A and B are shown apart, each in its own frame.
Chain A
Amino acid sequence: MPRESRLPVPIRNALPEGRILEDPATRLVYEYDAWSIVRNPPLAVAFPESTAEVRNLVRACIESGVAWTARGAGTCLSGGATPSGGTCLLIETSRMDRILSLDPEDRIAVVQPGRINLELSRAAAPFGLHFAPDPSSQSASTLGGNLAENAGGPHCFKYGMTTDHVLGLTLVDGEGEVCRLHRDDGLDLCGLVVGSEGTFGVLTECELRLIPTPTAVRTFLASFSSMEAACRAVAKIVSSGTVPAALEILDRLSIEAVEASVFAAGYPKGADAVLLVELDGEEDEVEAERIPVLRAVQSEAPLEVEETSDPEQRARLWRGRKGAFGAMGRLKPDLFVLDGVVPPSKLAAVLAEITAIGREQDILLSNVFHAGDGNLHPNLSFDGRNPGERERAMEAGRRILKLCVDAGGSISGEHGIGFEKIEHLSYLFSPTDLEILGEVRRCFDPAERCNPGKVLPLGRACGEGSSARRPGILPSREREDP
């Protein structure tokens, strides 16, 4: 027998019938994103199709005193798309997946936020263009999510983060108003919104820059008997003035996990580290750049070096890197992926300390990372069913992020703060810094109903005391029985 609706009437009436689901199974499906530590079943899940429908939903939420969280594909690794609490509406953008225009001459695409990243590049491919940001989740993650998190990816070493490829956007702000923002507006509000993790409003359209697809690509795989040697090779490549499209490292445990999985790529199993380098551009450009790359790699006495421009072989080499996080499932049932950044010159030293932290906390720890820009991804594999393991993994994560900050780095390079790192913001920011960030947020969303509890700690940054009494705001760590 159907339950009586818990939804306030304005929300129930904001979309055509059948596009807001509140049954227990749906709410359970959407209770978390790719960071599974915090789980909050939403009040309901809404599926708008246009800017006008999102505006209607947001206005209905405001009228009803309900908070909301926008979600693309839910691939966020920091809890950014996890509902903010049991009385929070989840606005799911998968029905907003159209390419509204694609202009090859001006190299601009206007898309709805639910479009999957890789599908935009596929649509642009016939024109010799592509969308450069390539997070590992690009075959699943949506462009709206990429913008909200300012996603990176292996190729952002050369091409920049998502923010470098956004020309404009449309946002329904925290007051239910439609804001069209453009990079040429003088004040770069558009740039401010990118990476704000849905706390300024809900994205409904994105104007994106496409770039020419390189005509030549060459990929190198070098294996080393020590992580230090691999890191030194990276430093030498970067200081040579060469700008590879990607510079990625996997450590021994990651190599073993990958090679034992369906993502096996032929990485040498005895190596302590493998370095993937990719050069792209025009043929003569790539040919010229391969010389300093090979010189740098050879100077560190590699165990093996493989070089290929064959698309199938390149895909094989990348399969291991892109599938590495999936392969971690072979190690333990739970995975906690960190995202700290350190100055590249400190990579080797910080990695040694990270290994020591893993040992001290008795946690299985592997590393797959964007070496060129010092963006580490320590993977903490654990079994949450074993008493104390989850807690030890969390403690190891906390210590690793603190270590990154102490080394002059940051707690997140591309995954965002979300729920995950909110307690660690104080490593980077003073109370005044957080107060200013809170004020900036409230310029877009005075009542703090857009994805509350993400990016900034509630109460502390706002200077408004605890938000516990406000409905739909605090993350509930208690699983609600659907």
Chain B
Amino acid sequence: MTSPLFPGDPVELADLLKEGAAQGRKAFVAGRDSRAGFGADPGPIDLRLRLERMTGFLRFSPEDLTCSLGPGTTLGEFEETLSEEGLAFAPGPFHGCRERTLGGLLAESPPNPRGFDRAHLRSQCLGFEAVDGRGRRFAAGGRVVKNVAGYDLMKLFVGSGGALMAVTRLELRLIALPPVILCLRSDWLPPLEAAGVWRKLRRRLPTPSWLDLVLDGGRACVELGLAGAASHVTELARGSGLRTVAEGLEAWRGGGGTEIPAGGEVRGRVRPSEVGSFLESLGGNARGRIHYQGAFGLEVGYPDSLPPAFRGPPSLEPAAAKIALRLKDRLGGILAPGRLSFRIPRPLPERGRRVR
């Protein structure tokens, strides 16, 4: 593995990428390399760049519920500062991710228990400054919570796995920390029984903070997050039939839960009405979480047990794949050559069935 370089500012990063592009090198940009082994193989890399020197708050406007951050800021540092101000980052809880960088977290966009509503990671990024795979510095979006000027490149960045651009400044949305937060849990149950409890609560609770079906091989439980005014949260908790395992900030950050992360290599979305048959197909071989609207992140013992749609990288139809490949070519340039990975379900004559 090549030794990493640590650019200290966007200009240094842009110069390195521009030079790399001119020399035909392949580059990989990471935060602190905490997820180096995750995701599709980035391919042979000549230039490893780490953004951990680009860290900290560059702007903080608690009154407007926004801030600007260096991409190397860790989730833990970020959340500590926010809680001191009575604020919070809406997505999460991201179990065991406090050492991860915000830039990396957004680039990966891991499954997010609170992400079924406006708390999806892609809704938090209001704007950014970035460097593309040719070393061009550019910006998109802005600093305000509502903005439709220009194309929404923030959506393109979140979940791109670092294959299209490297962000050098993030503009993020914040929320006021809810006055009362509870994490509740059921007992461990057979998976189908737990799924029944999950679906019943899903119908009853229109706006939980999160509602996960937690799978642990041949057993499962339901984890419920509630946040809001005290009387309302207490009332909902009482009616849920679950027991409280954590409160306040500990609950918000995923403490007191099962420690089974909302991550895993197998990701997708299953319709809530089809969770039962999905669990049957897994046959007790999965560990992970299915969230309120059916998005999941699982570690699966026998990947062949998965329904075909969930095996391997996401599938893109040929016309969509054509667009994704163009974006990779024009924006991504030398960045993470193998990171943008998807299957094309129908033959695409000039490129074959699988593109890496």
In the assembled complex, B159 has its CB within 8 A of some CB on chain A: yes
State whether the Cβ of B268 lies closer than 8 Å to any Cβ in chain A.
yes
Interface residues of B in 152-172 (CB under 8 A from A): 152-153, 155-156, 158-161
- In angstroms, Cα B122 to Cα A185, docked, is 13
Shortest A218–chain B CB gap in Å is: 14
**Chain B interface residue count: which class?**
35 or more
Task: Give the complex CA separation of A178 and B320 in angstroms.
Answer: 8
Our pick among B178, B323, B340 for the contact of A444 (Cβ within 8 Å) is B323
Asked if B150 and A159 make an inter-chain contact with CB atoms under 8 angstroms apart, the answer reads: no
Inter-chain contacts of A341 with B (CB < 8 A): 142, 144, 146-147
Give Cα A214 to B273, complex, Å.
22
Stretch with Cβ within 8 A of A (4 or more), from B1-9, B23-31, B225-233, B252-260: B225-233
Is the beta-carbon distance between A284 and B232 smaller than 8 angstroms? yes
Number of A residues with CB within 8 Å of any CB on chain B? 83
Residues of chain B from 182 to 221 with CB closer than 8 A to chain A in the complex: 203, 206-207
Do the beta carbons of B159 and A194 come within 8 Å of each other?
no
Inter-subunit contact B142/A409 (CB<8 Å): yes
Does B148 have its Cβ within 8 Å of any Cβ on chain A? yes
CB distance from B313 to the nearest CB of A (A): 7
B351 within 8 A of A: no
**Among the listed stretches A32-40, A115-123, A430-438, which one makes contact with chain B, having 4 or more residues with CB under 8 Å of it?**
A430-438
Which one of A370, A408, A413 contacts B143 once the chains associate, using CB atoms below 8 Å?
A: A408
In the assembly, what is the distance between CA of A163 and CA of B147, in Å? 12
Judging by beta carbons under 8 Å apart, are B331 and A161 in contact?
no
Whether, in the assembled complex, B350 has its beta carbon less than 8 Å from a beta carbon of chain A, the answer is: no
B 300-356 contacts with A by CB, 8 A? 313-320, 322-324, 326-327, 330-331, 340-342
Within the assembled complex, what's the spacing in Å between the Cα atoms of A413 and B143? 12
Query: Across the interface, which residues of A come within 8 angstroms of B145, CB to CB?
Result: 373-374
Distance of A160 Cα from B175 Cα, bound (Å): 13
Bound CA span A409–B127, Å: 12
Which one of A234-242, A302-310, A321-329, A389-397 is at the interface? A234-242
CA separation between A345 and B138, bound complex, in Å?
27
Does B64 make an interface contact (CB < 8 A)?
yes
A440 touches B179 (CB 8 A): no
Name B229's contact: one of A288, A408, A417 (CB within 8 Å): A288
Judge whether B95 is part of the interface by a CB distance below 8 angstroms: no
- Give the shortest distance, in Å, between B207 (CB) and chain A (any CB): 7
B149 A187 Cβ-Cβ under 8 A: no
Per-residue 0/1 for A123-159: is the Cβ within 8 Å of any B Cβ (1 yes, 0 no)? 0000000000000000000000000011010001001
Contacts of B136 in A (CB 8 A): 432, 435-436
Q: Which residues does A use to contact B, with CB under 8 Å?
A: 103, 105-108, 149-150, 152, 156, 159-161, 163-164, 173, 177-181, 184-189, 191-192, 194-196, 209, 211-212, 214, 235, 238-241, 243, 281-282, 284-285, 287-289, 341-345, 370, 373-375, 408-417, 421, 425, 428-430, 432-433, 435-437, 439-441, 443-444, 455
**Nearest 3 CB-CB pairings of A with B:** A191-B155, A288-B229, A212-B206
